[in-house]
Amino acid sequence: MPKVRFGTVGGTKDINNNRAQVTLENGDFTLEYDNSNTETAMITMKAKYNKEIYVKTFTIDKYDGSPIYLPIWELEKDGKAYPGYELVKIETKNRKLIVEKGYSPETKLINPGQIALDTPSYYTVGGMCK
């Protein structure tokens, strides 16, 4: 499955003591990385929507830093799923945590020049005209 990214929302932070935190979208999205237990990485995503905070902690066994894609729609608040639809890419490289949002959850290579995909949701689409 090819990976297709929309937009440029992302960030990088230094990893200190096997921990790092990246905050994006003016504080409406936070990803916390904790690999202090080297057997299991704990990755906690938090996203705000309509003044409510949705959260999920993903447990990744034997995480080696290679790129992984986590589904934002699995975040919950009081049993209610987050309304977003996108994958978030996480990677560690050179003691840095790299987080990129906006990946399409569903893609299909039709032929070498064509990809069919579902567009990820966005927290914003720009300014509004009056």
| Tokens matching residue 28 | 């409406």
* Between 46 and 127, the higher pLDDT residue: 46
Instruction: Give the per-residue pLDDT at 93.
Output: 96
| Whether this model's pTM surpasses 0.85 | yes
pLDDT (tens digit per residue) in 27-55 = 999 999 999 987 899 999 999 999 999 99
pLDDT (tens digit per residue) in 60-114 = 999 999 999 999 999 999 999 999 999 999 999 999 999 999 999 998 999 988 9
User: Mean pLDDT in the chain?
Assistant: 91
Alpha-carbon dihedral sign for residues 115, 24, 47, 100: positive
Cα gap 56→59, rounded to integer Å: 10
| Tokens matching residue 100 | 């990129």
- Alpha helix (H) residue ranges in 27-99: none
Looking from the CA of 93 toward its CB, the CA atoms found within 13 Å total 10
Reported residue count of the chain is: 130
